[in-house]
């Protein structure tokens, strides 16, 4: 897919994500909206995947380390054909496999369980190292939140990836500048991120993470070193009253807000 088509698909995913959160009465919609453009580019352009064979050994791997934004991943996986889109209506319902955090034992296309922050990147480093040891050709991508980068386990993984020269690993940091309850700048401000990753021996790209024309080439870039994409995004992207508002980290729109958001995310925009 080219950028214009990817943007159309991303709008569809945002609308379905909004619907799922509204109907479930729970979710992490702000961080989902900031990450959906990147997930769309991955699943509809970049990743080598086999929806009818989700454990195909030659598949590329994607780890959603910021696992609380699972709903966006579920909508993307369903739209890509990993499971029926009708199942999205069961999100967070009793007995549903579409839980608040992704489970690789239940949901096709989920590579590893995530939720506790600071776990996904270390697991992805292990996946990339395993590919090097076995001679496999798959590439591993992992997305973290910027608040999540305050976790020390991530920096241990970053050191290991550089030591092992894991040029088959791409880290995407969803740098939307907000975490639960506060702005990143008001908690443990680790920005700017680029010089820190470069100091640890990584190749770093810095992009607008809500612009397809910048997302795609960054995801497709290959380097001699592990690659980090610092993706500058907007919390609640695409919805005016949510954008860059910390209270929409974990909040559900009422009926009026839902209708406004649906209109703003319409394909005519």
Which residue segments constitute the domains of the chain, with CATH numbers given? 3-264 (3.40.50.970)
Strand order in the sheet with 227-232: 61-64, 140-145, 169-175, 227-232, 203-208
Q: How far is CA 208 from CA 153, 160, 215, 225, in A?
A: 26, 27, 7, 22
Model pTM score: 0.97
Q: What is the DSSP letter of 185?
A: G
Torsion of CA 224, 226, 230, 235, to 10 degrees: 140
Phi-psi region of 25 (alpha: psi -120 to 50; beta: other; left: phi over 0): left
Structure tokens at 164: 């092992």
Dihedral angle sign, alpha carbons of residues 60, 104, 7, 173: negative
State the pLDDT at residue 269.
Answer: 46
Dist. CA 210–CA 36, nearest whole Å: 8
Q: What are the two backbone dihedrals, phi and then psi, of residue 84, each rounded to the nearest 5 degrees?
A: -65, 135
Work out the pLDDT band at 268, boundaries 50, 70, 90: very low
Q: Where are the alpha helices (DSSP H) in the chain?
A: 3-24, 29-41, 70-80, 120-134, 152-163, 194-199, 212-220, 255-264
The CA angle 72-162-123, to the nearest 5 degrees, is 40
pLDDT in tens, 76-102: 999 999 999 999 999 999 999 999 999
pLDDT in tens, 7-65: 999 999 999 999 999 999 999 999 999 999 999 999 999 999 999 999 999 999 999 99
Position 267 pLDDT exceeds 70:
no
pLDDT in tens, 167-221: 999 999 999 999 999 999 999 999 999 999 999 999 999 999 999 999 999 999 9
């Amino acid at each position: 897919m080219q950028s214009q088509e990817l943007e159309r698909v991303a709008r569809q995913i945002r609308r379905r994500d909004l619907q799922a959160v509204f109907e479930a009465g729970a979710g992490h919609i702000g961080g989902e909206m900031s990450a959906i453009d990147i997930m769309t580019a991955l699943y509809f352009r970049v990743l080598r995947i086999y929806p009818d064979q989700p454990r195909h050994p030659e598949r590329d791997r994607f780890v959603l380390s910021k696992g609380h934004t699972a709903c966006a991943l579920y909508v993307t996986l369903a739209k890509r054909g990993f499971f029926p889109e009708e199942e999205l209506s069961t999100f967070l319902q009793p007995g549903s496999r579409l839980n608040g955090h992704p489970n690789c034992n239940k949901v096709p296309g989920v590579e590893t369980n995530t939720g506790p922050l600071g776990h996904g990147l270390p697991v992805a480093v292990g996946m990339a190292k395993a590919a090097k040891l076995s001679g496999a050709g798959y590439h591993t991508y992992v997305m973290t939140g910027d608040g999540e980068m305050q976790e020390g386990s991530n920096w241990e993984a970053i050191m290991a990836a550089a030591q092992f020269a894991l040029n088959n690993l791409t880290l995407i940091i969803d740098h939307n500048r907000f975490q639960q309850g506060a702005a990143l700048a008001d908690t443990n401000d680790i920005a700017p991120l680029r010089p820190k990753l470069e100091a640890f021996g990584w190749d770093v790209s810095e992009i607008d993470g809500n612009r397809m024309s910048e997302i795609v080439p960054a995801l497709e870039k290959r380097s001699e070193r592990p690659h980090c994409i610092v993706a500058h995004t907007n919390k609640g992207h695409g919805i005016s009253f949510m954008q860059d508002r910390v209270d929409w980290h974990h909040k559900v729109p009422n009926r009026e807000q839902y209708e406004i958001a649906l209109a703003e995310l319409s394909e005519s925009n």
